[in-house]
Amino acid sequence: MFEELEEINLRPKPFEFYTTSDLWTDEYISKQMLVSHLNGENDRASRNTKFINRSVNWISSFFKIGAGTKIADFGCGPGLYTARLAKMQADVTGIDFSTRSIQYAKDTAANENLPIKYVNQNYLEYETDEHFNLILLIYHDFGVLSPSQRNLLLAKFHNFLKTDGFVLLDVPSLKAFEKRKEATVYKVNLENHFWSPNKYHGFLNTFKYEEEKVILDKYTIVEASRTQVIYIWQQYYSPEMLEKEFASCGLKINNLFSDVTGSKFNSKNEEFAVVAQKK
């Protein structure tokens, strides 16, 4: 028991473990995630419907989306952005490793007669000969990746962009980092059975890495027959930190916004969005 509690409370090195796929592809958890995506009222897995509508309208006018604009949406989930963009005649590809979300997205596209290409794959392994006018990575997915994974993904973006193509992504800011606190929570069936339909003892250890500006939410879910550990990492950013990472992969940040609806950049905001191009 002592050793198990030691393990639960153990602080790993930043980005030491990558379990993101468990979060999105596990049979039970992915079902919970899809419900969250499709709940247009909250911001849990996708943002609320009003935000997404504003965001797509801004994307459409800022990037002049129209017939033939080639867009790749990395981590497209159930296709909340891809479907809206396809309705504006864009030529859209969505990539996501959640089979459940991709199936939902494909069904929606078929019902609405939208010619969207969906790829059910880890985007860190995605390869294509196509080149895009716009690459999206929306809802703080960039900072979930380790520094080497981010480097790999930015190098892919560089390869997949047309000469004058754009990348749009959003990240949480250092203002948001300041607000996060270390904590330990223990609860039976933590988060109302989100992690398993069976009875479990749920531990949530939040670790703050001051120097690296990283937060880890480490979930340990102890059931009668198995124990799952899920690591949810998030890198927080200043614009300068992000600029440096982009520059090392041949990308230049052209514009800063407060979020992906194109609202004016505000350094007090808890997130920001960037538009980048090849240098």
Ligand X SMILES: C[S@@+](CC[C@H](N)C(=O)[O-])C[C@H]1O[C@@H](n2cnc3c(N)ncnc32)[C@H](O)[C@@H]1O
Query: In this structure, are residues 54 and 261 in contact, taking their beta carbons and an 8 Å threshold?
Result: yes
Choose, by CB under 6 A, the member of 45, 56, 92, 221 that binds ligand X.
45
Please identify, among the stretches 5-13, 73-81, 243-251, 266-274, the one whose residues bind ligand X according to the rule CB under 6 A.
73-81
Alpha-carbon distance of 249 to 237, in angstroms, equals 17
Alpha-carbon distance of 275 to 252, in angstroms, equals 9
* 8 vs 63 by CB, closer to ligand X: 63
Q: Per CB under 6 A, does 271 bind ligand X?
A: no
Choose, by CB under 6 A, the member of 141, 170, 259, 271 that binds ligand X.
141
Tokens of 33: 């995630």
Q: Per CB under 6 A, does 142 bind ligand X?
A: no
Please identify, among the stretches 122-130, 161-169, 223-231, 246-254, the one whose residues bind ligand X according to the rule CB under 6 A.
122-130
State the DSSP H helix or E strand holding residue 3, giving kind and residue range, or none if neither. helix 2-8
Residue nearest to ligand X (CB): 75
CB neighbours of residue 28 within 10 Å: 13
Query: In this structure, are residues 130 and 70 in contact, taking their beta carbons and an 8 Å threshold?
Result: yes
Q: Per CB under 6 A, does 260 bind ligand X?
A: no
> Between vectors from CA 45 to CA 32 and to CA 25, what angle results, nearest 5°?
50
Beta bridge partners of 186: 203
* 8 vs 55 by CB, closer to ligand X: 55
Alpha-carbon distance of 29 to 39, in angstroms, equals 15
Q: Per CB under 6 A, does 75 bind ligand X?
A: yes
* 69 vs 101 by CB, closer to ligand X: 101
Binding-residue total with ligand X (CB under 6 A) = 19
Note the residues at the interface with ligand X (CB under 6 A): 20, 24, 45-46, 75-77, 80, 95-98, 101, 122-124, 138-139, 141
